[in-house]
Chains A and B, each alone.
Chain A
Amino acid sequence: MKSRVALLCFLLVAGTIAFGQTPATIEKTEISGISEDSLSAPLRADLQKLVGQNYDEKAAAQIAERIHAELPDYVVTSTTAASTQPGRIVLVFAVAHNINAKYIVESVDLKGTEKSKLSEALWTDMQKMVGHPVDDASADQLRERMAAEIKGSHSRRSVERGSDPQHVRIVYESVSQSSANFSGSGGYHSRQKFSGRANVAYTFYDFVGVRVDGFNDASTLMERYAGYRYGAWTEYKRVRFNAEYSSFRAQWSPGTLQAASATGTSADLYRLRDTIDPSAKITISSGFHVTLGFTASQLQIQVPTSHYESVRTANGNADYKFYLSSSEKHQFSGSYDIRVAGDALGGSATFTRHLFDQNYEWNLKKPAPGTRFTPDGHQIDFNVRLGRITGAAPMFERFSLGDTSRLVGWNKYDISPLGASRMAYGEVTYTNRYISTFFESGSLWNDGQTRVLRNSIGGNLLLGNILHAPTAMRIILNAARPGIGVPLQKNNVHPIFTLGGNI
């Protein structure tokens, strides 16, 4: 009974507030997108009659319909913009071919360039769009002026949702016709030591590109490998052709050497690995790609005598990514990868490798745009990876867990020093502005062996954000991500310390 009375009181108060609001007075009416002269005289007169009257959504919709009747090829919508005086509004009829003309510009932003690269006049003209409905013609004119001012690049424009309802942001992006990038990443694992990768890439018009990578990596595979990789790609419509050549020298851990010796598989351990890897990536839709390729590797093996063996695989990969809703709060992504080696392709290895990787990302609070290296949102990630190899795969195809990014509390050489042909792994991660914490669970085993499930917990610090460091230093400190992984077992609990992440 009490709750019903409370509900009734609430409804009465809410109703009083709702009905008590005074409708805003129309200060003036505007037509955007076309000249007012395009309308008939009676319609223009009726538009003027609205000035000084209280805003009525129905009356505005009727006028919009009359404009549409006179200009049937245009989309006509009425919208209101704030006036300089309180209690007054500007009634705008957006007449345009672009439906987004009904939204009011909240801000005009730049991406890929800086305000200092534009003339003051252009920046001022861009800012003049704020507070008005989106006008494609004017916005495109400004894009052309921007392209003329920033030589050697082309400009794109996009309209994005603003922070207020019915308000949008216009974003001008400057994309270089050709670009050279240098990037690097690295990680440290207290048992496996440092891993690093440096990359130089040159791209021409998003159409063709070349790159060179240098590696010294103990994290990704069972071996520490060091060397280089050259790559070139070209893109035509939905297909991206890619070709890579790599040459790596392998270094094996004492644990792996000992295990290989004990099992009589020392002949599986190669010293050099050279690979040619052509592939074609086909874009089926913006969120779904299929990649087909072929890999030919030549391995220099020293046991029993120095000789070469080749491994050739046909590769297929399908990857997808989609959001469950337009708010982009829930994202599903994943891939399925298959590699097949056999007689038909030549080579001395015969195996099939399947890897199934699925990810769900729940953005409790979405990071602000442009904060990739300085994240400030709240996010929960679920990741599942399942792998299976049938046949005898070379060491670089075998699965491992226990590195800087997966099953961090463990050392892969302790779990399975020769890798494994079966893998099951799951991870839950929570990340916010300052910290990332995770729980991981995984198992590696070979066909016929018993499965041992290993768990670990851990976390990483986003030091740059914690220390509120200046931007450049913040990016470096956040990338360093000092972390700890603790194996969940009763005895012999030795935490693993890490820096960086997946390279």
Chain B
Amino acid sequence: MRTTGIHLRSGFHIGISCLVISMLLWPGLLSAQTVSVKLEGEQLRVSVSQLHFLGSEVLQRLRNGIAVNYVFKVGFTPNRYSKPATVTSYRFVISYDIFEEKFAVSRIEPNPRSITHLSESAAQMWCLDSIAIPSGGLPADQPFWVNLEYQTVEPKPATTETGESLIGQLIDVFSRKAQREEARGTVMGGPFSLTDLRKTR
């Protein structure tokens, strides 16, 4: 084996390759999600920058012409580590027009609405822009945190086998879970205070 003495160059190349790999992953590192809150009347409007909740698996399903149901749950907590006492749910159905290659979003609840001819980013933005919660229950001078959870949900089976045994149903339920991983995520932001938000309004 020829081992000509260029060890220093080799170390340099390892460094370079690490740098290249880091650069390839850089967009992922940069995409830190930041939660911001705006007060509009008595409604708190939550927005999350860089939140791309349509993952590659979900996008593949959408491009296969299948509609995907999303549930967003938003709630307030007094600190980063506690769970929200009350949450508000938003349900959306997202689909992708396989001919026009545009997204359509239906908000099922609350305040049903739908919109079509959106780009991927616009569809995500439209869902997030819909999220607003009443600020009524929040103390004016106490800091609070916003917790936003999202996940895909499978539509309920259209038929139920009435004659099937409990064990059979359990097997069915477990095997169905194994078939598809839910796309989910949580983002948290804070601390915010109503007093500050009123000042910046």
Contact = CB atoms under 8 A, between A and B. Distances in A.
A318 B104 CA distance: 33
Given A68-B114, A351-B10, A268 B2 contact: yes
B21 A343 contact: no
Contacts of B56: 238, 283, 285-286
B159 interface: yes
Contacts of B21: 290, 292, 316
Given A73-B112, A100-B65, A392-B2, A341 B10 contact: yes
Nearest to A103: B99
27 contacts: A71-B112, A75-B106, A98-B66, A98-B67, A99-B116, A100-B96, A134-B65, A141-B159, A144-B157, A144-B158, A154-B175, A165-B99, A166-B99, A207-B178, A267-B2, A284-B27, A286-B56, A338-B17, A342-B14, A348-B3, A349-B3, A350-B7, A350-B9, A352-B9, A352-B17, A391-B6, A392-B2
Contacts of A494: none
A164 to B, nearest CB: 11
A392 B3 contact: yes
Interface of B: 1-4, 6-7, 9-11, 13-14, 17, 20-21, 24-25, 27-28, 56, 59-60, 64-67, 93, 95-99, 101-104, 106-108, 112-114, 116, 155, 157-159, 161, 175, 178-179, 181
Nearest to A100: B65
A34 interface: no
Closest 6 CB pairs of A and B: A159-B65, A342-B10, A73-B112, A158-B64, A98-B67, A97-B93
A72 B14 CA distance: 58
Interface residues of A, number: 68
A345 to B, nearest CB: 8
Nearest to A165: B99
Contacts of A166: 99
B1 A348 contact: yes
Nearest to A316: B21
A472 B110 CA distance: 56
Interface in A375-399: 390-392, 394
Nearest to B64: A158
Contact of A394 (B1, B93, B96, B101): B1
A322 interface: no
A168 B98 contact: yes
A56 interface: no
A344 B13 CA distance: 11
B13 A168 contact: no
